[in-house]
Amino acid sequence: MNRLISGLLFISLIGIICQSCKIDKPKEAALPQKQYVYLTFDDGPLDGSQDVDSIILAEKIKISVFLIGTEVAGDREMATYYKYYEDNPYIEEYNHSFTHGNNQYNVFYSNPHKATEDFLKNQKFLKIQFKIIRMPACNTWRINNKKQDDCATNAVATADSLAARGFKVFGWDVEWQHHAEDGTPVQSVDEMYRKIMQQLNSGKTFTKNNIVILLHDEMFQRRWEESDLKQLIDRLRKDKNIVFEQLKFYPQN
Ligand SMILES: [Zn+2]
């Protein structure tokens, strides 16, 4: 009898221990999802590039710039801004064509061979290290066999020709627009912040948890302390899961 009671007690004890094992078993904590922001500036160097350069040096975040060769050729001031970009460790330079299609995109893309040559010339002229391109006026993507065409003109053949030569072609997920007359931003910092977070969180980007933002150098010609760009950066970096990255590291996760 005593043996039976001891046996029962033993079984109950094991049960209690196992129960507590279950309770105490540490739960696997889900790691917070990192989200990657790629700030990309088109059409430089131009007036405003010097401000972008100093904001980025002060903020120490990584950005990407898509540059036009004709802006640099024969213009000492722009050549100096280009040098600022080259010397800035947070800025990576990429290819936005040599002529920007002379702003006549129908003509430019109607000759894919000539358009491709224009990008190749720019790559050489600006000594661009990475084979990364943004096509003027086209939200066109060619990344690792994934593609998207969203261009008013037919630029498919040019994009395919660039991809066949090993270039990655980047469009954008969201644009911070600017007024043509003075270059000032159209959307407020608040609006842009909400748009970026909403698009990231709804998964409506070319690659999930990665967002490419299009900006232009001439938008930020105010002292950096009061600049809209600095304010947007400050808002985004408050979120510890936001990481600023350059396009050569796209996509993450
Ligand atoms: Zn452009």
DSSP, res 67: E
Place of tokens 């064509």: 97
165 found inside a domain: yes
Q: Find the 31 Cα to ligand 1 centroid distance in Å.
A: 38
Token pair, residue 181, equals 């007359």
Q: Which amino acid is at 39?
A: L
pLDDT over 80 (residue 94): yes
In the predicted model, is pLDDT for residue 53 greater than 50? Answer: yes
The reply to whether 39 falls in a domain is yes
How far does residue 253's CA lie from ligand 1's centre (Å)? 29
Peptide bond just before 112 cis, omega within 30 deg: no
Predicted local confidence at residue 30, as pLDDT: 74
Q: Which whole number is the average pLDDT over 206-210?
A: 97
Cα 181 vs. chain centroid, distance in angstroms?
26
Domain with 176 in it: what CATH number?
Answer: 3.20.20.370
pLDDT tens readout for residues 60-84: 999 999 999 999 998 999 999 999 9
Dihedral, CA atoms, 162, 154, 247, 146, nearest 10 degrees?
-80
Closest CA to 247 of 141, 122, 151: 141
**Please, what is the Cα angle at 91 between 117 and 186, to 5 degrees?**
85
Task: Note whether 200 and 237 are within 8 A (CB).
Answer: no
* Residue 112, domain member (yes or no): yes
The rounded Å distance from CA 188 to ligand 1 centre is: 22
Count Cα neighbours of 29 within 13 Å in the Cβ-side half-sphere. 2
Question: In angstroms, what is the span from residue 66 Cα to ligand 1's centroid?
Answer: 8
In this prediction, residue 5 has a pLDDT band, given cuts at 50, 70 and 90, of: low
Residues near 41 by Cβ (< 8 Å), separated by ≥ 6?
Answer: 52, 63, 64, 65, 66, 215, 216, 217
Report if residue 6 sits inside a domain. Answer: no
Has residue 162 been placed in a domain? Answer: yes
pLDDT tens-place string over residues 146-188: 999 999 999 999 999 999 999 999 999 999 999 988 888 999 9
Rounded distance from Cα 5 to ligand 1 centre (Å): 85
In angstroms, what is the span from residue 22 Cα to ligand 1's centroid?
A: 60
User: How many structural domains are present in the chain?
Assistant: 1
pTM for the whole structure: 0.87
Provide the domain limits for residue 146. Answer: 35-249
Q: In the predicted model, what is the mean pLDDT of residues 233-250?
A: 96
**Cβ-Cβ contacts under 8 Å for 182 (sequence gap 6 or more):** none
The SS3 assignment for 63 reads: strand
Q: How far is the CA of 43 from the centre of ligand 1 (A)?
A: 5
Confidence band (pLDDT; 50, 70, 90) for 101?
A: very high
201 Cα–ligand 1 center, Å: 28
Ligand 1 center to 216 CA (angstroms)? 8
Ligand 1 centroid–CA 37 distance in Å is 20
CA of 240 relative to ligand 1 center, distance in Å: 32
- Look at residue 41 in the predicted model and tell me its pLDDT: 96
For residue 18, the model assigns a pLDDT of 47
pLDDT given for residue 28 in this prediction? 61
* pLDDT value for 190: 97
Q: Is the pLDDT of residue 219 over 90?
A: no
The mean predicted confidence, pLDDT, of the chain is 90
CA of residue 67 to ligand 1 center, whole Å? 8
In a domain, 143, yes or no: yes
Question: 51 or 206: whose pLDDT is higher?
Answer: 206
Establish if 240 belongs to a structural domain: yes
Token code pair at residue 96: 């936005």
Q: How many CA atoms lie within 13 A of 20 on its CB side?
A: 5
Segment 6-36, tens digit of pLDDT:
555 555 555 555 455 455 555 566 778 999 9
Confidence (pLDDT) at 157:
98
Give domain status of residue 29, yes or no.
Answer: no
